Structure 1
């Protein structure tokens, strides 16, 4: 049974402050703007719906594979993925900072697919 005391309430308040500070970061604001642009792009959303409805036939219908490639190459998707990667990087740094205070033995899985280096670090235009 969890005993609620002043320290738990204080930790909860501190966590709320960290979340509020994180949500006000430029990378998060940029991500939210990119996500809104993605969700607001009616043409892209229609293409995604068509792709989803025909995903089972992608092997047999080359035009569905072409549609999938077209969707993946849109600037809106690209910019959203970059913004997601940037937020993930900041989250990883935050997690490493918190875990480092506790113990250096705690490993944080960064799992940032577009981190600099390798073929994923190259940006297309």
Structure 2
């Protein structure tokens, strides 16, 4: 049974402050802007709807595969994925900092698909 005491309330308040501070980071603001651009791109959204409606036929219809490739190659999608990766990097850094307070032996799964090599690896250096 969980006993609620002042320390748990303090931890809850601290978690709220950490989350609020994280949401104010530039990488989060950039992600939100990229997500809004993605959601506001009517042409891209129409293409995504067409792709989703025809996903079951992608194996048999080369034009649907071509549409999927076209969508994946748009700058809007690319920029959104970079912004997602940047937010994930900051979340991983935060998780590592918190876990290291407890123990250096705690491993944080970074799950950063763009971290190694590629354009993004060189983008911020």
Give the shorter-chain TM-score range.
over 0.9
* Aligned CA-pair RMSD: 1.5
Unaligned 5+ segments in structure 1 are: none
Question: What CA distance in whole angstroms lies between the structure 2 residues aligned with 1:24 and 1:122?
Answer: 25
Are 1:13 and 2:27 matched, yes or no?
no
Deviation at 1:118, TM superposition (A): 5.6
Q: TM-score, normalised by structure 1?
A: 0.93
Q: Partners in 1 of 2:120 and 2:34 — Cα distance?
A: 20
Query: Alpha carbons of 1:85 and 1:44: their partners in 2 closer, same or farther (altered >3 Å)?
Result: same
Deviation at 1:73, TM superposition (A): 0.5
Classify 1:49/1:122 alpha carbon distance in 2 versus 1 (closer, same or farther; 3 Å).
Answer: farther
Q: TM-score scaled by structure 2? A: 0.93
- SS of match in other structure, 1:105: coil
User: Residue 117 of structure 1: CA displacement?
Assistant: 2.3
Q: Give, in whole Å, the separation in 2 of the partners of 1:62 and 1:26.
A: 40
Counterpart Cα distance in 1 of 2:18 and 2:48: 35
Q: 1:20 to 1:109 in 2, by over 3 A?
A: same
Match of 1:2 in 2: 2
8 Å CA contact retained: 1:71, 1:77: yes
Q: How many residues align?
A: 123
Alignment of 1:11-90 (within 5 A): 11-90=11-90
CA shift, 1:122, in A, is 6.4
Deviations 1:12-40 (A, max 9, x none): 00000000100000000000010011011
Matched-pair contact (CA < 8 Å) for 1:113–1:120: no
